[in-house]
Amino acid sequence: MRLFRARATAPLTRRRREAVLVCGRAPPRAFTTRHAVLIASLFTAGGCATVRTTHPGEVGITREQRFLTWVLSDVHSTASREYRRIIDQARRQGNLDSNPEQVARIDRIGHRLIDQTGDLRPGAPSWEWEIHIIDRAAVNAWAMPGGKIVVYTGLLDRIKPIDNEIASLIGHEIAHALREHGAERISEQLTTGLILDVAVSVLGIDERYALIADLLTDVVFTLPHSRQHELEADALGLELAARAGFNPTGGVSLWRKMTRKAGGSWPEFLSTHPSHTTRIRELSHYAQEVMPLYEAAPTRLARSTPTNVRPPDTSPRPTARGPATLSVATHPLATILVNGERMESNPVINHVVRPGPVRLQFEVNDNSAGRWQDEMVLEITPGEHRNLGRIALTRPAPAAVTETAFLTVGTRPLSVIYVNGERAQGNPLVNYEVPAGSVQLRFEVSNEGLTWYDELEVTLTAGNRRNLGRLYLERR
């Protein structure tokens, strides 16, 4: 379901995709005098501008961007109006910021990230930033131009990200806003002949607002981001996280979690943010580049939190008193450290902790993977007893190996199966031999004259026989 008002734009999106001579693009074969008049009216409000939106940062993003000047000036105000409409609707339905613990956690992480935006784009900390949580099962998060961000509870509840992972996620969305990717993509749509017949809409303020609102729907919710935009958001998002004192490897572990959670269907976040087989490797590279910023972060965090961030819409809660306690266990069994103090047992039952941020570290000795660690940070209020239950730890991906594993998988509807880019013979595959490690599966379905695909990544250890059963594919 689209979140914006329905408008009669479907016929326009089916128009021919020839380019016009705008911002350096070539004219279409069927370019007519009528089109020329419409394009002229489009540019009465301003032509093209070449802009460098952000500093290169430690990750070195130097690409200059081209915008229609009137789009660049109008998109923030339009996005603010549309975002307010979505937030008001969620509030009326009782779906806005309903979990105080999640709200406090996202607000704390978001404040620390926003405080670092001035290093990449001077003036950005003074934007009217907003981050809200909407109750929706989709595993997704999104950002509108101007710093308007939403995280869905489906992502928090199903992925269960630790703070470092949330920081990489929100940093990614903040980076889209800083780089003005939304305005850039809207400018591209307006200058590639997709909606020539509505160019006259710039002649009226209301029509211009409606046009931008419709395009924002496609840019934010429907169309996948370009690979170039995603790489920029990945890199700058990890840099923001590192500058704010969050371990940038959280971006790597987050994407591993999301691909593992995909199962037979692809999470919405991954469908609108295209996944590539090299993405985790690229995130690992960026994480190492910005690691010195993370190691130097404590001195930077002394800077004050920006006061212009709009607080979450939550009702006041009575303040509890007394000591806080924590109960937690792990799978697999791990040595637990609470705020650096090593616990004598696992599970930990009713351990007294100081209210506030509590850092949990888990150390695992594993015969197959060696010694590895996981961690999480949570906020505990005075007098609270927090029972985390049994936490499933995130194990590092195994190193590349040459041994083989065996995979059994079928699909519904029937599809052509590609394993690591190689077309497999048959469906289902039974005890199909693959190299151990990360295995990329692609399923191509031909139906009613159309071809669509779904993807899945699984990790297999040497000698492992994994039976995925019959996967129900998600049509794209």
Task: Say if CB 343 and CB 336 are below 8 A apart.
Answer: yes
Distance CA 344, CA 347 (A): 9
Spatial CA neighbour of 419 closest among 369, 464, 460: 460
Q: What is the mean pLDDT of the chain?
A: 76
Most confident of the following: 58-72, 123-137, 189-203, 402-416: 123-137
Residues 6+ apart with CB under 8 A from 422: none
Mean pLDDT to the nearest integer, 150-156: 94
Distance CA 162, CA 341 (A): 19
Q: Which residue has the higher pLDDT, 359 or 309?
A: 359
What one-letter code names the amino acid at 109?
A: I
Task: Say if CB 65 and CB 51 are below 8 A apart.
Answer: yes
Q: How does pLDDT run across 336-394, given as a tens digit for each residue?
A: 999 989 998 888 888 899 888 899 999 988 766 578 888 888 888 888 888 888 887 87
Question: In the structure, what pLDDT confidence band is assigned to residue 298 with cuts at 50, 70 and 90?
Answer: low
pLDDT of residue 313: 46
**What percent of the chain is modeled with pLDDT above 70?**
70
Question: In the structure, what pLDDT confidence band is assigned to residue 209 with cuts at 50, 70 and 90?
Answer: low
In terms of C-beta distances under 8 Å and separation of at least 24 residues, what long-range contacts does 438-442 make, across chains too?
A: 438/397, 439/405, 439/407, 440/277, 441/409, 441/417, 442/417, 442/418
Domain extents in the chain = 49-300, 324-392, 404-472
Spatial CA neighbour of 162 closest among 432, 466, 391, 414: 391
Asked if the model's pLDDT at residue 418 lies above 90, the reply is yes
What one-letter code names the amino acid at 243?
A: R
Asked if the model's pLDDT at residue 417 lies above 60, the reply is yes
The CATH fold assigned to 404-472 is: Immunoglobulin-like (2.60.40)
Most confident of the following: 138-152, 268-282, 322-336: 138-152
Asked if the model's pLDDT at residue 179 lies above 90, the reply is yes
Q: Which residue has the higher pLDDT, 16 or 260?
A: 260
Residue 223 tokens, joined: 């169309």
Spatial CA neighbour of 58 closest among 181, 240, 297, 226: 240
Neighbour-count burial of 254, counting CB atoms closer than 10 A to its CB (0-12 exposed, 13-18 middle, 19+ buried):
buried
Residues 6+ apart with CB under 8 A from 102: 133, 153, 156
Range in 72-81, 177-186, 190-199, 272-281 with the lowest mean pLDDT: 190-199
Half-sphere exposure of 78 (CA within 13 A, CB side): 23
Distance CA 270, CA 463 (A): 29
User: Tokens 């790489």 map to which residue?
Assistant: 231
Mean pLDDT to the nearest integer, 5-29: 34
Task: Say if CB 318 and CB 293 are below 8 A apart.
Answer: no
Distance CA 8, CA 27 (A): 26
Range in 80-89, 258-267, 404-413, 435-444 with the lowest mean pLDDT: 258-267
Q: Which residues pair with 304 in a beta bridge?
A: none
Asked if the model's pLDDT at residue 402 lies above 60, the reply is no
Q: How does pLDDT run across 46-94, given as a tens digit for each residue?
A: 467 788 899 999 999 989 888 877 677 778 888 888 899 999 999 999 9
**What percent of the chain is modeled with pLDDT above 90?**
30
Mean pLDDT to the nearest integer, 292-304: 63
Residue 181 tokens, joined: 């990717």
